[in-house]
Amino acid sequence: MTPGNNGASTPEDDDPFGYLYADGQANGAQPPSGGYGYPNSVNRVRPVGTRQYGAPQGQAAPPQQGVYGQPQGAYGQPNAHYAAPETLPGGGGPGAPQQPSGHGGGGGRRGPNTKGLLIGAVAVVAAVVIGIAVAMTSSGSDDDKGGTEAGGDPAPTQSASTEPSPSASDDAEKEEAELPSVDAKAMRLAGSASLASDVEGAQSDGGVYVANLNQPGASVTWTVDGIPEDGLYTLFTTYSAAGEDQSMTLTVNGKEFGSKLNLGNFAGAKDNDFAKGWTKTYAWPTLNKGTNTITLSCADGDKCNVLLDQFSLKKGQVKD
């Protein structure tokens, strides 16, 4: 007996993996038919180099028995129980169909078209702005058009006439300009009243004024024509007073005015300094349309030491 070799079924054969080696095969070692209480658990173990991957060409691989009696496919064949996820339907392997992305491609469900929504919003805003502008322009055009009375012609607009329509202020200025004024030398003098020009500052033509009014019975009368209508008017009197304030009697159309005409020393001139005492006062008489007479006289009890320069009129009650 060869040393180290005690024949078949000797302890050397107890090596459960002896059939995997050449010397074990030479001594007739065989793989176990069912090992260690696990049926068919090692019946697939084969000697090194003898395992085949896939069946030989032209020959189908015999079915393999899996654990717990479940059939197992041959090597190289798909097995439903152990197939990789990518080989199953809907798997993510290289061969699986790709799911369409939510943001690209031409197929499948697409995300919201933000560009289209933005363009639509801009268009709506532009339309609203244009509508407001058109409405404002139309409103302005309607306001510019004159009103039309029932059965009448439209009121002319600025563009319908080559000349501008007069404003209210223009009418007032025109009416005031048409009201008469008079220099003292053109009025009718009575009593001691006389013309003079030796004191400078009078606004009348040539600097001529009425003096010597400080005697009872002295007077000046202005017959004024061209009063446009009945009503209140303002009578302006230009004069010079020096030292003490003065006052005289005003008569309109033969009736004495309600109060004395105040001829105060508003310029603050000293006694007899008439060159520095030129000033103006006013009264609000009621005049008739057409011709009126206005008389300023020195009555008993009046203070009449003044130089009389001009009379002028304005419509209404004004102060300058």
Predicted TM-score of the model (pTM): 0.47
Report yes or no: 286 and 242 within 8 Å, Cβ to Cβ.
Answer: no
| Dist CA 137 CA 143 (whole Å) | 10
Report yes or no: 213 and 306 within 8 Å, Cβ to Cβ.
Answer: yes
| Dist CA 286 CA 81 (whole Å) | 126
pLDDT at 113: 64
User: Could you list the pLDDT tens digit for every one of the 320 residues in the chain?
Assistant: 445 555 555 554 556 676 677 777 777 767 665 544 444 444 455 556 655 555 455 454 454 444 444 444 445 555 545 555 555 555 544 444 454 444 444 444 555 567 777 888 888 888 888 888 877 776 555 544 433 333 334 433 333 333 444 455 555 555 455 799 999 889 999 999 999 999 999 999 999 999 999 999 999 999 999 999 999 999 999 999 999 999 999 999 999 998 899 999 999 999 999 999 999 999 999 999 999 999 999 999 999 999 999 999 999 999 98
| Dist CA 274 CA 269 (whole Å) | 7
The DSSP annotation for 9-68 comes to TSGGGG-TTGGGSHHHHHTT----SSBTTBTTSSTT---TT---SSPPTTSPPPPEE-GG
Q: What are the residues whose beta carbons fall under 8 Å from the beta carbon of 134, sequence distance 6 or more?
A: none
